[in-house]
């Protein structure tokens, strides 16, 4: 009896490590559970979007396919989660495209500051041939992109006012684990300091870093406004979130399961865009009510400061992609 229980426990661990679990209920068919991890707070609009997606998967599959969500870096940092997908230990993750750069270099394109004219321009690119090609760019590395989620425009927040790139000089600024993010801060004169999202509040509070940059919903839901009382709407880059599935696990799904999952994901993208627009203004209102000063600087000063980053890629594949994106109308 004990031997049988040990064998069952071992098989269960193997299935968990594979990113899904088969369980049999009386009178019902097998249920496949896909674990999805990410680092956001449960109040964040992208987490709410993924809950919507998971509900649609359950409804469409009549409960035979379940997406189980683990927020707040419960199962690891973004980088650790991406690596788990490559090995097939985790089914899905929501990550910024910034840490994905180390795995899929083509995604560096989203880190080029002021590449997109506005949100409409971004979505025309993301929803068109260029965006779809980039979603598939990591498949041979075990990472299949399912969709982009809106992460808005990233702006600086700090403990002191920032009106121009000159005010960034000498500041230790938290960035994502991203080559392009570090290049951008260094080009502007700051000191780029990669720190995981889950450690950032403490790092700001203890003075490990002086500032950070992110969209307004992330600034608000993380409560970073309790430490940083200035939010600077320079909107220097539009780095989207990306829903990624392990290519191994995607290939293990039946054609019907793949269809259900992709349909639910596509529906969640439309949900996300509406939810994001609502959340951006709500978050700005909340942080202002909490005593944060919103600064609207002259963006041209920041655009001029990062121009060398654009020039650096002239004549390269990334430079060609920059040109193609600029041509999208």
pLDDT in tens, the chain (329 residues): 444 433 333 333 444 444 443 443 434 568 999 999 998 889 899 999 999 999 999 999 999 999 999 998 898 888 899 999 999 999 999 999 999 999 999 999 999 999 999 999 999 999 999 999 999 999 999 999 999 999 999 999 999 999 999 999 999 999 988 889 999 999 999 999 999 888 999 999 999 999 999 999 999 999 999 999 999 999 999 999 999 999 999 999 999 999 999 999 999 999 999 999 999 999 999 999 999 999 999 999 999 999 999 889 999 999 999 999 999 99
pLDDT at 227: 97
Q: Has residue 6 been placed in a domain? A: no
Beta strands 31-37 and 22-23, pairing class: antiparallel
DSSP letter at 89 equals S
Q: Are 201 and 319 in contact (CB under 8 A)?
A: no
Nearest to 277 by CA among 214, 212, 216, 213: 216
What Å distances lie between residue 321 and 123, 179, 313, CA to CA?
Answer: 16, 17, 10
Beta strands 154-158 and 230-237, pairing class: antiparallel
Q: Has residue 294 been placed in a domain? A: yes
Residues 233 and 247 placed together within one structural domain of the fold? no
Residues 161 and 305 placed together within one structural domain of the fold? yes
pLDDT at 28: 59
Beta bridge pairs of residue 295: 232
Q: Has residue 5 been placed in a domain? A: no
Task: Give me the residue label for tokens 């075990």.
Answer: 142
Residues 146 and 158 placed together within one structural domain of the fold? no
**What is the domain range of residue 292?**
154-237+284-327
Q: Has residue 173 been placed in a domain? A: yes
Q: Has residue 178 been placed in a domain? A: yes
Q: Are 236 and 184 in contact (CB under 8 A)?
A: yes
Nearest to 202 by CA among 169, 178, 174: 174
Residues 323 and 303 placed together within one structural domain of the fold? yes
Residues 38 and 176 placed together within one structural domain of the fold? no
Residues 307 and 271 placed together within one structural domain of the fold? no
Q: Has residue 7 been placed in a domain? A: no
The alpha helices in the chain, defined as continuous H runs, are 2-17, 45-60, 78-87, 97-100, 119-126, 129-136, 179-188, 200-205, 216-221, 247-252, 255-289, 299-305, 307-312, 317-327
pLDDT at 68: 96
CATH at residue 315: 3.40.190.170
Residues 198 and 59 placed together within one structural domain of the fold? no
Residues 96 and 178 placed together within one structural domain of the fold? no
Residues 135 and 106 placed together within one structural domain of the fold? yes
Residues 266 and 293 placed together within one structural domain of the fold? no
Q: What's the distance, Cα to Cα, between the start and end of the chain in Å?
A: 68
Q: Has residue 4 been placed in a domain? A: no
Q: Has residue 8 been placed in a domain? A: no
Beta bridge pairs of residue 65: 32
Q: Are 225 and 189 in contact (CB under 8 A)?
A: no
Residues 104 and 220 placed together within one structural domain of the fold? no
Total domain count, the chain: 2
Residues 248 and 230 placed together within one structural domain of the fold? no
pTM summary value: 0.85
């Amino acid at each position: 009896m004990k031997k049988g229980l040990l064998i069952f426990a071992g098989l269960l661990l193997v299935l968990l490590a594979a990113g899904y679990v088969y369980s049999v209920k009386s009178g019902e068919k097998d249920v496949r559970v896909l674990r999805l991890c990410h680092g956001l707070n449960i109040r964040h609009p992208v987490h709410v979007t993924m809950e919507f997606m998971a509900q649609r998967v359950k409804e469409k599959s009549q409960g035979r396919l379940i997406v189980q969500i683990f927020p707040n870096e419960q199962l690891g940092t973004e980088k650790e989660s991406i690596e788990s997908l490559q090995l097939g230990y985790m089914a899905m993750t929501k990550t910024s495209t910034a840490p994905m750069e180390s795995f899929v270099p083509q995604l560096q394109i989203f880190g080029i500051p002021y590449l997109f004219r506005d949100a409409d321009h971004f979505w025309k690119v993301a929803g068109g041939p260029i965006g779809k090609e980039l979603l598939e760019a990591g498949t041979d590395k075990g990472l299949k992109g399912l969709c982009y989620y809106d992460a808005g425009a990233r702006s600086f927040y700090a403990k002191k006012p920032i009106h121009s790139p000159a005010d960034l000089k000498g500041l230790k600024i938290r960035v994502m684990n991203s080559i392009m993010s570090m290049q951008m801060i260094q080009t502007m004169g700051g000191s780029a300091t990669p720190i995981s999202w889950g450690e950032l509040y403490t790092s700001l509070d203890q003075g490990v870093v002086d500032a950070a940059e992110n969209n307004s919903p992330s600034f608000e839901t993380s409560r970073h406004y309790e430490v940083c009382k200035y939010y600077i709407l320079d909107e220097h880059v539009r780095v989207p979130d990306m829903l990624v599935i392990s290519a191994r696990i995607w290939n293990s799904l039946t054609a019907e399961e793949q269809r259900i999952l992709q349909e639910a994901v596509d529906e969640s993208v439309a949900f996300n865009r509406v939810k994001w627009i609502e959340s951006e203004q709500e978050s700005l209102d909340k942080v202002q009510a909490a005593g944060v000063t919103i600064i609207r600087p002259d963006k041209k000063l920041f655009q001029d400061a990062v121009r060398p980053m654009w020039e650096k890629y002239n004549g390269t594949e990334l430079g060609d992609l920059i040109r193609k994106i600029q041509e999208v109308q």
